[in-house]
C-alpha cells in the first residue's frame, strides 16, 4: 500500500470510527489523525492497521481498536505538559498519540518483542520507553497527572494508584463479570474513585487478574 492510501484510511478512521461513536474532542481527533497507525503493526498485518477491531500483535497481545483509545483519551482530557504514563505500550501506538497531546511521557512494556517494535516505531518522538512488569507501573518517574492503561484489566493495582499525583486521572478498560467497560478514575487525597462511561471491547493485558476466591 502507498503512503497516500494510508492517509486516506486514517481520514476514514477519524470520520467513520471516531466521530460516529462520539469521539469529537478536537485534540484527540487531531492526534489520531496525525499518527501513522500502520507503523505500529507487524508488517504481515499492515493491511489491518485501520480495522475497526483489535489487531493481533502476537499471541496474547493485541492493538486496541481506534474507538476504544479515542474514547479513553476523550474522557481523560490530556493537557499539554502533564506528566503521563502509558501502561501496556505494546508497539507504541497509544504512547505516540498521547505524546501529540501532552509532549514527553513514559511508556511501559514488559514484553521484549513488542518493546523492540516500539523502540523502532517511536524513534524521534518524545516518548521514553521503559521495561518492567505492567502492574508495577514506573515509580521512578512518578507522580503522574495521567496514567493511560492501554488495554483491559480486571483490577487497578495499588501501585498504579500510588503513582498518581493529587487529582491525577487513570484511564483504563475494566473487566467485570465478563463485560468490558471503559473507565476513568481520579485520585483525591488517600482516596481513589473510578466510574465506567462506555462499554467497549479492549485488548486484555496480562498481570492484572483479580485474586481468585478459595473454593473447596
Contacts by 183-189, CB closer than 8 A, 24 or more apart: 184/72, 184/75, 184/76, 185/156, 185/161, 187/161
CATH homologous superfamily, domain 3-199: Vaccinia Virus protein VP39 (3.40.50.150)
DSSP at 38: G
pLDDT at 209: 87
Q: Looking up cell 497481545, which residue turns up?
A: 61
Q: What global pTM score does this model have?
A: 0.95
pLDDT in tens, the chain (216 residues): 788 799 999 999 999 999 999 999 999 999 999 999 999 999 999 999 999 889 999 989 999 999 999 999 999 999 999 999 999 999 999 999 999 999 999 999 999 999 999 999 999 999 999 999 999 999 999 999 999 999 999 999 999 999 999 999 999 999 988 899 999 999 999 899 999 999 988 889 999 988 765 555
Q: Looking up cell 518517574, which residue turns up?
A: 141
The Cα 47–Cα 82 span in angstroms is 34
Residue 177 CB burial class (10 angstroms; 0-12, 13-18, ≥19): exposed
Show the cell assigned to 67. 474507538
Residue 212 CB burial class (10 angstroms; 0-12, 13-18, ≥19): exposed
Amino acid at each position: 500500500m502507498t503512503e497516500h492510501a494510508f492517509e486516506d484510511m486514517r481520514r476514514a478512521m477519524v470520520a467513520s470510527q471516531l466521530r460516529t461513536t462520539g469521539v469529537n474532542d478536537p485534540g484527540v481527533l487531531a492526534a489520531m489523525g496525525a499518527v501513522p497507525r500502520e507503523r505500529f503493526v507487524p508488517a504481515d498485518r499492515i493491511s489491518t492497521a485501520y480495522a475497526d477491531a483489535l489487531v493481533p500483535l502476537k499471541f496474547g497481545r493485541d492493538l486496541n481498536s481506534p474507538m476504544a483509545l479515542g474514547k479513553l483519551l476523550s474522557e481523560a482530557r490530556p493537557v499539554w505538559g502533564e506528566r503521563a504514563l502509558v501502561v501496556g505500550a505494546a508497539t507504541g501506538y497509544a504512547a505516540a498519540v498521547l505524546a501529540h497531546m501532552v509532549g514527553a511521557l513514559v511508556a511501559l512494556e514488559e514484553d521484549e518483542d513488542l518493546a523492540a517494535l516500539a523502540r523502532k516505531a517511536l524513534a524521534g518522538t518524545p516518548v521514553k520507553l521503559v521495561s518492567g512488569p505492567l502492574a508495577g507501573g514506573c515509580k521512578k518517574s512518578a507522580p503522574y497527572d495521567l496514567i493511560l492503561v492501554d488495554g483491559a484489566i480486571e483490577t487497578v493495582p495499588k501501585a498504579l494508584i500510588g503513582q498518581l499525583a493529587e487529582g491525577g486521572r487513570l484511564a483504563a478498560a475494566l473487566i467485570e463479570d465478563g463485560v468490558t467497560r471503559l473507565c476513568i478514575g481520579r485520585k483525591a487525597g488517600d482516596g481513589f474513585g473510578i466510574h465506567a462511561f462506555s462499554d467497549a471491547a479492549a485488548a486484555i493485558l496480562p498481570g492484572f487478574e483479580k485474586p481468585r476466591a478459595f473454593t473447596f
